[in-house]
Amino acid sequence: MASCPHPVIAREGWPFLAVSIAAALAVAWLAGWGWSAPLWIWTLFVLQFFRDPSRPVSGDAKSVLAPADGRIVAVETTQDPYLNREALKISVFMNVFNVHSNRSPVDGEVKGCWYHAGRFLNAALDKASLENERNAVWLRTAAGADVTSVQVAGLIARRILCYVKEGDALARGQRYGFIRFGSRVDVYLPPASRAAVTIGDKVFASTTVLAELP
């Protein structure tokens, strides 16, 4: 079972949850519980958005795991714009009801990180991969396979959080970042990798195997 450093609620959500509860209590005290109902509904939304459950870690050293919860929106051979190579690209789209913790898809060493400012298009669109705000992490496995995991901001996402740097070691399923309020994660793999998912599949971070490395 993967360890979860922030049980139940991700630390990124604590300030939002505190403000939501405080606002709901203040309105309830000043105007009554009926008037505070919309704020309590918002608090429930914040609570579910920032949930951060522990997850089992699937597969073996060749398995590429889903870095996020969501739906597969791309499985294609394309160019990896970060390592300038042909790659198998698999993209996971997260809506506002998915868990937004991001986890490492493979066991590997962080060889590089790149942040790019950009737009906030609908993350389900293909062009979001290259035009939206994004943060890429390049991982190299013990067998020498290069994997690029890219956090991409969405239509209402305004904050990408990444907690790793070059030289760090990550285990597959290990939490390494978070994106607030709707987004996607693109994974670029060696072109000989074998995809285990298809467009439209629902996936879960750390649990669903996206592909097998060659």
The tens digit of pLDDT for each residue in 54-66 reads 888 999 999 999 9
Answer for the pair 101, 205: CB distance below 8 angstroms, yes or no. Answer: yes
CA atoms within 13 A on the CB side of 120: 10
HEC profile for 154-168? CCCCCEEEECCCCCC
pLDDT number for residue 131:
67
- Cα 91 to Cα 82: distance, rounded to the nearest angstrom: 15
**Residue 198, domain CATH:** 2.70.70.10
Number of H helices, E strands in the chain: 3, 14
Residue 44 sits in the same domain as residue 68: no
- Return the closest-CA partner of residue 107 out of 171, 176, 193: 171
Residue 28 sits in the same domain as residue 72: no
Query: Cα–Cα distances in Å, from 200 out to 74, 90, 208?
Result: 9, 12, 14
pLDDT number for residue 2:
40
Residue 94 sits in the same domain as residue 71: yes
Tell whether 57 is covered by a domain.
no
Residue 30's domain comprises 11-49
The pair phi, psi for residue 120, each rounded to 5°, is: -130, 60
Query: Would you give the distance in Å from CA 126 to the centre of its chain?
Result: 17
Helices 33-49 and 14-31: crossing angle, nearest 10°? 170
- Cα 127 to Cα 2: distance, rounded to the nearest angstrom: 33
pLDDT tens-digit profile, the chain (214 residues)? 344 444 577 777 788 889 989 998 898 898 888 898 999 998 888 877 788 888 889 999 999 999 999 999 999 999 999 999 999 999 999 888 888 889 999 999 999 999 988 666 655 566 667 767 889 999 999 999 999 999 998 666 567 889 999 999 999 999 999 887 668 899 999 999 999 999 999 999 999 999 999 9
- Cα 81 to Cα 113: distance, rounded to the nearest angstrom: 13
- Count of domains in the chain? 2
Residue 182 sits in the same domain as residue 205: yes
Residue 92 sits in the same domain as residue 30: no
Tell whether 4 is covered by a domain.
no
What's the pTM value of the predicted model, to 2 decimals? 0.83
Tell whether 2 is covered by a domain.
no
- Cα 144 to Cα 62: distance, rounded to the nearest angstrom: 11
- Residue positions annotated with a catalytic role: 183
Residue 67 sits in the same domain as residue 45: no
pLDDT number for residue 116:
86
3-state SS class at 182: coil
Residues 6+ away with beta carbon under 8 Å from 37: none
Residue 75 sits in the same domain as residue 170: yes
